[in-house]
């Protein structure tokens, strides 16, 4: 007889990570599990025994519909790095013990590269010590940098938000036609991979001339070349809008946002908290040219903008959660669902399962064929890849004029 499962969320949230949780819940119940627990604030909370029975929120189908429309991590997230197994067996054993106490057969963890490493290490420990508990990954990252999978749930909604917002920024900037143009530099998330920044290219269409230049961290940033480009654009256009990744860096390996000696804060995984790239560049442009500039950062809005999430993304996130739960019910472990593009036109994506060991800690950069030869543009091949992902909308449930969210009260205890 099937007992219980637990699901958790980890890392930076997305607009659709909750759809994946809804998918795990829905399918686990279908498969005959008794209880589906949520861990509060990921593994960090789980280690303190913080779990909640999700029936309280999701037994009513309206709960699942609201959860699909709720951004960020409904269960709470964490940035908790699992220690190496050797020398820290107690941490791993404690997780197994809490699972055993609560008759939990499977632990699902939704997240990106770091979170898949947690799944890998937990399943490695269970295998090495002959435990019967299983561990499954659920893919989630706006960064779109997980390997093997065609794309990652969370990316498409962020891309739709970015494409829409860039288009609105261009429209706004174009409205002023003075001789002196305004140079807008938009900073987009993406530490090492430029997938999110590439999405700025989606703004281009019959009704929009698109970004004038797009800089990804996959190419070394050269300030002189950048300034030459800016001056050329300013001399030929009324409105100039440029997208840059927060992760762009010069040949010496320095982030552009570190220019001027800024010391960036560091998180639990040792990653620097980036930001300020656009305003640094605007300062330089204004000083060298006297042009009016405007720096815009999408900040957390790009990962939390569920009011304009992609329906394709919501559905794929939900189905990824279901696939993970189905595999667990079949006794599998140490796997993550991956999206496989079966057809481009019409767009059709299937779901396979892949060994977590090939996925954890591997980052997939934007490939060469998606970047133009001059290094500051995005190719048609990328647009063909990305356009199907942003199709469709899941209209919010509006209450008092604003999108309604589902909120777990235990998050605030």
Q: What residues numbered 182-221 form the site for a second copy, per CB under 8 A?
A: 184, 202-203, 205-209
Q: Kindly tell me which of 106 and 157 has the beta carbon lying closer to a second copy.
A: 157
Q: Kindly tell me which of 83 and 205 has the beta carbon lying closer to a second copy.
A: 205
* First CA to last CA distance, the chain: 33
List beta partners, residue 108: 7, 136
The answer to the question of residue 233 lying near a second copy (CB under 8 A) is no
Distance in angstroms (rounded) separating the CA atoms of residues 134 and 113: 19
Q: Which two tokens stand for residue 77?
A: 């997230």
The answer to the question of residue 16 lying near a second copy (CB under 8 A) is no
The answer to the question of residue 259 lying near a second copy (CB under 8 A) is no
Q: Map residue 137 onto helix, strand or coil.
A: strand
State in angstroms the smallest separation of the CB of 133 from a second copy: 25
Closest residue by Cα to residue 155 from 165, 137, 140: 140
Distance in angstroms (rounded) separating the CA atoms of residues 390 and 74: 23
Choices 84-92, 100-108, 215-223, 269-277; region in contact with a second copy by CB under 8 A: 269-277
Q: Kindly tell me which of 227 and 291 has the beta carbon lying closer to a second copy.
A: 291
Per-residue DSSP letters for 204-223? -BTTB---SEEE-TTS---H
Distance in angstroms (rounded) separating the CA atoms of residues 403 and 413: 24
- Name the pairing type of β-strands 402-403 and 398-399: antiparallel
The answer to the question of residue 49 lying near a second copy (CB under 8 A) is no
Per-residue string for binding with a second copy, 96-135, x by CB under 8 A?
----------------------------------------
Half-sphere exposure of 331 (CA within 13 A, CB side): 3
The answer to the question of residue 272 lying near a second copy (CB under 8 A) is no
Instruction: Name which of residues 343 to 402 contact a second copy (CB under 8 A).
Output: 387, 389-393, 395, 398-402
Phi and psi at residue 81, to the nearest 5°: -90, 120
The answer to the question of residue 412 lying near a second copy (CB under 8 A) is yes
The answer to the question of residue 168 lying near a second copy (CB under 8 A) is yes
Active site residue 400: no
Q: Kindly tell me which of 168 and 225 has the beta carbon lying closer to a second copy.
A: 168
What is the DSSP code (8-state) at residue 357? G
Q: Kindly tell me which of 95 and 185 has the beta carbon lying closer to a second copy.
A: 185
Per-residue string for binding with a second copy, 284-323, x by CB under 8 A?
--x-----x-x-xx-xxx-xxxxxx-x-------------
Query: Residue 71 region, left (φ>0) first, then alpha (ψ -120 to 50), else beta?
Result: beta
Q: Kindly tell me which of 228 and 395 has the beta carbon lying closer to a second copy.
A: 395
The answer to the question of residue 51 lying near a second copy (CB under 8 A) is no
Distance in angstroms (rounded) separating the CA atoms of residues 146 and 140: 9
State in angstroms the smallest separation of the CB of 304 from a second copy: 4
State in angstroms the smallest separation of the CB of 122 from a second copy: 21
CA distances from 322 to 137, 263, 329 (A): 12, 43, 11
Q: Kindly tell me which of 257 and 328 has the beta carbon lying closer to a second copy.
A: 257
Q: Map residue 272 onto helix, strand or coil.
A: strand
Q: Which two tokens stand for residue 13?
A: 């949230």
Q: From the list 4, 20, 77, 144, which residue makes contact with a second copy (rule: CB under 8 A)? A: 77
Q: From the list 9, 113, 134, 280, which residue makes contact with a second copy (rule: CB under 8 A)? A: 9
Give the ranges where 237-356 is alpha helix by DSSP (H).
277-289, 301-304, 311-329
Please give the size of the binding site for a second copy, defined by CB under 8 A: 77
Q: Kindly tell me which of 307 and 332 has the beta carbon lying closer to a second copy.
A: 307
Question: Per the residue annotation, which of 105, 114, 117, 143 is the catalytic one?
Answer: 143
What is the DSSP code (8-state) at residue 255? B
Cβ distance 394 to 316 under 8 Å?
Answer: no
State in angstroms the smallest separation of the CB of 260 from a second copy: 13
Per-residue DSSP letters for 226-282? HHHHHHHHHHH-SEEEEEEETT-B-TTS-BGGGTTTPPPPB-TTS-B----HHHHHH
Q: From the list 79, 94, 271, 332, which residue makes contact with a second copy (rule: CB under 8 A)? A: 79
Q: From the list 32, 87, 265, 346, which residue makes contact with a second copy (rule: CB under 8 A)? A: 265
The residues annotated as belonging to the active site are 143
């Amino acid at each position: 007889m099937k007992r219980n499962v637990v699901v958790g969320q980890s890392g930076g949230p997305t607009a659709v990570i909750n759809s994946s949780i809804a998918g795990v819940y829905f399918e686990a119940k279908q498969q005959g599990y008794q209880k589906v627990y949520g861990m509060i604030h990921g593994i960090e909370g789980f280690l303190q025994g913080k779990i909640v029975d999700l029936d309280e929120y999701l037994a009513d189908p309206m709960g699942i519909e609201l959860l699909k429309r709720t951004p960020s991590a409904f269960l709470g997230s964490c940035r908790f790095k699992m220690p190496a197994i050797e020398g820290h067996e107690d941490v791993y054993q404690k997780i197994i013990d809490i699972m055993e106490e609560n008759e939990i057969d499977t632990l699902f963890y939704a997240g990106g590269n770091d979170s898949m490493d947690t799944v890998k290490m937990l399943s490695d420990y269970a295998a090495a010590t002959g435990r019967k508990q299983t561990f499954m990954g659920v893919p989630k990252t706006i960064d779109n940098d997980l390997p093997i999978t065609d794309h990652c749930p969370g990316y498409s909604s962020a891309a739709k938000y970015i494409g829409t917002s860039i288009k609105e920024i261009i429209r706004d900037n174009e409205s002023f036609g003075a001789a002196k143009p305004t140079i807008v530099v938009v900073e987009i998330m993406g530490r090492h991979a430029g997938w999110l920044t590439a999405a700025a290219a989606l703004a281009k269409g019959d009704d929009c001339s698109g970004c004038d230049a797009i800089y990804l961290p996959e190419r070394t940033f050269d300030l002189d070349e950048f300034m030459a480009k800016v001056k050329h654009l300013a001399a030929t256009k009324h409105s100039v809008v440029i997208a840059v990744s927060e992760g762009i860096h010069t040949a010496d390996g320095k982030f552009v946002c570190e220019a001027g000696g800024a010391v960036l804060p560091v998180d639990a995984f040792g990653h620097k908290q980036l930001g300020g790239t656009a305003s640094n560049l605007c300062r330089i442009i204004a000083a060298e040219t006297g042009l009016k500039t405007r720096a815009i950062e999408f900040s957390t809005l790009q990962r939390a903008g569920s009011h304009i999430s992609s329906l394709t993304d919501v559905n794929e996130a939900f189905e990824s959660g279901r696939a993970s739960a189905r595999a667990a019910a079949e006794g599998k472990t140490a796997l993550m669902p991956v999206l496989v593009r079966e057809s481009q036109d019409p767009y059709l994506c299937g779901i396979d399962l892949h060994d977590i060991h090939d996925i954890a800690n591997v980052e997939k950069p934007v490939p060469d064929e998606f970047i133009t030869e001059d290094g500051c543009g995005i190719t048609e091949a990328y647009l063909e890849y990305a356009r199907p992902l942003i199709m469709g909308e899941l209209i919010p449930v509006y209450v008092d004029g604003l999108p309604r969210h589902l909120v777990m009260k235990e998050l605030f205890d």
